[in-house]
Structure 1
C-alpha cells in the first residue's frame, strides 16, 4: 500500500500535477508546493507526432494515467455503474437544460477546476445534477420516469 510522500502516514488520494508525487491532503500539498519541481518529460524516441489542429491540444496538467492509475483505490467507480448514467431518464432530462450544459462546459473549460466546481455547486440545478449522478452510481440503479 502506498503512503503519502509528504507526511508518510496516510494513504495518498491525490497526485501533484507538476511533479507527480502522491499526497493525502490539502495540508500536505501546501507543505509540498514550496519545494515542488516539475518532472522533465522524457525525450521522444521516435518521430514526433503533432496534433491535427491547435484546438486538439490539451493544456490540462492531468493525464488519463493520473485519473485511471491502478494504485488509486479511493473513489473509484466501476464502469458498470457509470454505464447506468446513460440509462437514467432523470439525468437525460436534466441534461436537456441549456443552463446546465453551459455550467458543465464552463467547469470543463476552467483553468481552476476546483474554483469552477465551487461556483457551480452554488447553482441548485448543478447540485441536482450532481446528486442525481451520485444517487445512480451509489445505488446501482438508474431511476426512470414512468
Structure 2
C-alpha cells in the first residue's frame, strides 16, 4: 500500500502530471507544486513521458496527463464521460442550487472521504450519484447479484 509522497499520512489518490509523485489531497499538491521538477526523459517514453508531450499549450490537461497503466482499471471510457455530459436527467438535477453547492463543497474539501460520508446522507446527492453510476456502469447481467 502506498502513502502520500508529501504528507506521508494518507493513501494517495492523485498523481502529479509533472513529476509523477503520488499525493492525497489538494493541500498536499499545493505544498508540492513549488518544489516540483519534471521527470527526466528516459530511453523509454512510455515509462516517463515528457511533460511537454502531455501538457497542452493552452493550459488545459487531459485524463492521460494524470493516469498511467496502473490506473487503467479506474478509468471511465471517454464515451461514458460524453454520455454524462449529454444526460438530460443529470442536467435537470444540476439545476438545483443545493446540489451544486454540495458538489462544490465536496470538490473543495481536503478530506474527501469524510465529506462524502456527509454528502451521501443527502437524498439529492444520492440521487445524483446514482444517476451518474447508471451512465458510467450500466446494469448488465454480469453485475447483478442473484437473489438467494
Gaps of 5+ in 2: 4-10, 24-31, 39-62, 140-148
Q: Is the 8 A contact 2:90 2:132 kept in 1?
A: yes
Q: Could you tell me which residue of structure 2 aligns to residue 107 of structure 1?
A: 106
CA RMSD of aligned residues (A): 3.5
Q: Could you tell me which residue of structure 2 aligns to residue 93 of structure 1?
A: 92
Write out aligned runs for 1:1-146 (5 A).
4=1, 15=12, 20=21, 41-42=36-37, 67-139=66-138
Structure 1's 65 and 5: CA in aligned 2 closer, same or farther, altered over 3 A?
A: same
Runs of 4+ in 1 over 2 A off after TM superposition: 14-22, 40-43, 64-71
Gaps of 5+ in 1: 7-13, 23-37, 44-63, 141-146
Deviation at 1:87, TM superposition (A): 1.5
Structure 1's 86 and 66: CA in aligned 2 closer, same or farther, altered over 3 A?
A: closer
Deviation at 1:119, TM superposition (A): 0.9
Higher relative contact order (CA 8 A, sep 6+): 1
Q: TM-score, normalised by structure 1?
A: 0.52
